[in-house]
Amino acid sequence: MTDSTDTRSERPVSERCFISEAGLRDLTADLLESGTEVIAPVAEEICASPSAVASAACRMPGETPVEIEYRRLTDAAELDVSRGLPVLSLKGFFLPEHEALFCWEQRGTTITIKPVPTTFAPRVVLAAKPCDSAALEIVDKVMNWGHEDELWNGRRAATTIINLTCPSIDESCFCTAVDLAPDSTKGADGLLIPVEGGYLFEPSTDRGREFAEAHKRHFASGCGGEEHRNRQAEDERAAARTRVAANLEIDAASVRDWIDTHFEDPLLAALGARCNGCGACTSVCPTCHCFDIIDEQTGVGQGTRRRCWDGCQSRLFTLHASGHNPRDTQGARYRQRLNHKFAIYPLKFGEVLCTGCGRCTRVCHAGQDLVEILAAIDVAARRPGTTTSPQEDGGSSAAPPAEEQVAS
């Protein structure tokens, strides 16, 4: 498996600079003081309330009272470096759950449109999960397909993202199976690798280098030295990759081709049985990006047009104005999710629309397990005689082959 995120051989060791834990917090404090928005994982009480009584009433037994979320920091002390997985991905900072596109006001026959700004103040994401940053680069493709999405692009252009190597989370992670890694810098500008006393920082883009340069007083001088730290960093990364790889290994290309040519296969149809169509998976997913556009009338002659997250697992997603619904069963909708992520998007953009973060599996309380599902498809794909002839070059065809689909 070619790993384009393997920075070990490409990045000169001299670019790796050490920053202590305290140094990282000081850097964060500096950013905040200069008025820069800093987004980072924060440990939050699920049942936070100014009222202790309300907090106690809300917290259910066995529940970890604290969960991690990406938040805009108000103080450097909030920065959580425990490397747990935030509940929601970074997606919401680039494609918010709901965002105004413009406001309108109508007086008589005069309509005034007030557009929202499409340029954004520079901001920094610290200690991002590699699966979350990689998702942004993957979604960049569709956000610039045909039409360039100014709000998405504006936010992307304004944001410097520094990843923090992931230790792997649990048995539902599978980033390595989709050509990523716990130390990937795809979609990001640099990587922090935990070592004794702090982190080694490796910039991976010019913006990352500028970031290091701008904050160099927080880094130890003489970057690239200290053999034992370099070794620790390599060991850390290798161990994490091994842990994740143990969860799932698939041939993403043959999975793609199998899904593409087995639309009517009973295996795909059966996978949606448990699914409730609740949409939790699409909400927590870092690469799901479908949105709906709604008009909110907030008063006589005034309103706001917003876009807000939508999900393909809802029955309404493909409901036509005529009343016809081409995906009228949960089986069809769930099949669509797999199809879009692992076949359609890769065929169209050359990227799997999934970063293996495992959130969908963890959040599905009906027991839908993407690791299990992908493993099953991989097995079917590799079984001789069950595949129709796949694309010659797999990744570059624009249109999927004709399916043996009958009208349903």
Partner 1 sequence: MNELRDLARQLLTDGTVRVIIGWEDGRRGARPVFITDPADADKLIFDTRCAHNLVTYLDPRRDDVVNLGRIGIVVKGCDAKAVAGLLREAQVARDDVVLIGVRCGGVLEEAELREALELNADNVAPRCYGCDNREPALVDYLVGEAQPEPPRPTMTIDERVAALDELPLEERWAFWSEQFSKCVRCYACRQVCPLCVCELCVADKTRPQWIEPAAHARGNVSWNITRALHLAGRCVGCGECERFCPVGIPLTLVNRKLQEIVAQRFDYVVSDDPEKPAPIGDFRLDDQQEFIK
Partner 2 sequence: MSETMVKRTPAADEAFEPRITAFVCNWCTYTGADLAGTSRLQMASNVRIIRLPCTGRIDPLFIIKAFERGADGVIVSGCHPADCHYNSGNYHARRRFAVFYDFLQFLGVDPRRLTFSWVSASEGAKWRDVVNEAVSNVRAAGPFHAYRALAPDPPAVVDEIDALLAAAEEGEGA
Q: Which residues bind partner 1 (CB under 8 A)?
A: 46-51, 53-54, 56-58, 60-63, 67, 87-88, 97-98, 171-172, 272-274, 276-280, 282-284, 292, 294, 296, 306, 308-309, 311, 314-316, 328-331, 361-363, 365-367, 369, 371-372
Q: Which two tokens stand for residue 382?
A: 């590799």
- Gyration radius of the chain's alpha carbons: 23
Considering the complex, state which of residue 113 and residue 366 has its C-beta at the smaller distance from partner 1: 366
The Cα-based distances of 340 to 179, 192, 337 in angstroms read: 17, 32, 5
Least Å distance between CB 308 and partner 2?
12
Cα–Cα distance list, 319 to 98, 125, 341 (Å)? 22, 38, 21
Q: Kindly determine how many residues on this chain lie close enough to bind partner 2 according to the rule CB under 8 A.
A: 9
State the minimum distance, in angstroms, from the CB of residue 328 to partner 2.
Answer: 28
Q: In the complex, what is the shortest distance from the CB of residue 69 to partner 2, in angstroms, rounded to a whole number?
A: 16
Strand partners, 98: 308
- Ramachandran angles phi, psi of 302, nearest 5°: -150, 150
Strands (E), 129-212: 159-164, 190-195, 198-203
Residue 65 φ/ψ, nearest 5 degrees: -65, -15
Residue 252: which H helix or E strand, with range? helix 252-261
Among 371, 341, 373, CA closest to 170: 371
Binder of residue 26, out of partner 1, partner 2, none (CB less than 5 to 8 A by kind): none
Please say which residue, 302 or 391, places its beta carbon nearer to partner 2: 302
Please list every residue from 277 through 306 that binds partner 2, using CB under 8 A.
298-299, 302-304
Nearer to partner 1 among residue 267 and residue 294 (C-beta) = 294
CB neighbour list of residue 43: distance below 8 Å, 6 or more residues apart:
66, 67, 68, 80, 82, 84
The region of 12-20, 62-70, 98-106, 226-234 touching partner 2 under the rule CB under 8 A is 98-106
**Does 100 sit near partner 2 (CB under 8 A)?**
yes
Residue 191 beta carbon to partner 1: minimum distance, rounded to whole angstroms: 28
**Are 62 and 146 contacting, i.e. CB atoms less than 8 angstroms apart?**
no
By beta-carbon proximity to partner 2, the closer residue of 45 and 105 is 105
Residue closer to partner 1, measured from CB, 233 or 377: 377
- Answer positive or negative: Cα dihedral of 392, 395, 398, 399: positive
Choose the one of partner 1, partner 2, none that binds residue 203, judging by a C-beta under 5 to 8 angstroms depending on kind. none
Q: Does 105 bind partner 2 (CB under 8 A)?
A: yes
Give least dist CB 107 to partner 1, A.
23
Q: Which helix (H) or strand (E) holds 303?
A: strand 302-309
Q: Would you say 114 or 315 has its CB closer to partner 2?
A: 114
Count of C-beta atoms within a 10 Å radius of residue 385: 4
Judged by CB, which is closer to partner 2: 303, or 331? 303
What whole-number distance in Å separates Cα of residue 83 and Cα of residue 167? 7
* Min dist. Cβ of residue 363 to partner 1 (A): 5
Nearer to partner 2, 107 or 324 (CB): 107
Residues of this chain that interact with partner 2 (CB under 8 A) are 100, 103, 105, 114, 298-299, 302-304
